[in-house]
Amino acid sequence: MKAETYRDVIEWTQHLHGELATRLETGAVDARTSERLRLLLEYLAEHERRMQEMVQRFEEKADIKILDSWLYDHFTDNPRIRALDAGKSFAGMSYEEISAMVFDMHNDALELYRYLAGRAETADGRELMQELLAMEEHETLRLAEQAQRAQEM
C-alpha cells in the first residue's frame, strides 16, 4: 500500500488491526488449535478489534485538513504486511510464533508513526502521529502484558 496522506496512514493502521483480528479469529476456531492457544487467540483478536475501533475514532475526530494533508514519504514494500495479506493463519502456531508475528506487526506501526512524527511538515501532522504513537505504544504494552500472563497460566 502506498500512503500519500495522513488519512491513508490511519486507514492502513485500521486495516492492519482488522486483518490481524480476522486471522487470529480464524486460528482460534481451527481444529488444530489447543484450548490454551484458542483462548490466547480469542483475546488477541478481541484486542485487535478494539484497537481498530480506536484508530477509526482518531480518523473521525481529526481535522479534515490534517487528514488530507500530503505526506512526502511513502510506504516501502513490507514483507510482513504481504505475509498478513497473503492469509497466513495462526492455526497450529506456538505461543512464541503467534507473539512474534503479532508484535512484529505492531512494531511496524510504531516505527511508521515515529518516523512520520519526526518528518511531519506541520505541528498538527506531528501531533496526530504522536497521538497515534502514544495509543499504539500503550495498547501494545497492554497486549504484551496480557499475553505474558496467558503464557504463564
145: helix, coil or strand? helix
pLDDT above 60 (res 81): no
Q: How many CB atoms neighbour CB 53 within 10 A?
A: 12
Q: Read off the amino acid at residue 65.
A: K
Q: Cα(87)–Cα(110) distance, rounded to whole angstroms?
A: 22
Q: How many percent of the chain have pLDDT more than 90?
A: 48
In sequence order, the 6+-apart residues with CB closer than 8 A to the CB of 96 are: none
Domain ranges of the chain: 6-152
- Nearest CA among 78, 79, 76, 81 for reference residue 20: 81
The CATH class of the 6-152 domain is mainly alpha
What does the pLDDT read at residue 24? 93
- pLDDT tens-place string over residues 88-110: 778 888 889 999 889 988 998 89
Q: Which residue has the cell 492457544?
A: 37
Tens of pLDDT, residues 38-66: 899 999 999 999 999 999 999 999 999 99
Q: What does DSSP assign to residue 120?
A: -
% of the chain exceeding 70 in pLDDT: 87
70: helix, strand or coil: strand
Which comes out higher in pLDDT, residue 33 or 138? 138
Question: Quick check: 42 and 27 in contact, CB under 8 A?
Answer: no
Query: What is the overall mean pLDDT for the chain?
Result: 86
72, with CB counted inside 10 A (0-12, 13-18, 19+), is exposed
Which of the residue ranges 14-23, 69-78, 91-100 would you say has the lowest mean pLDDT?
Answer: 69-78
Output the pLDDT for position 112. 86
The pLDDT of residue 68 is: 92
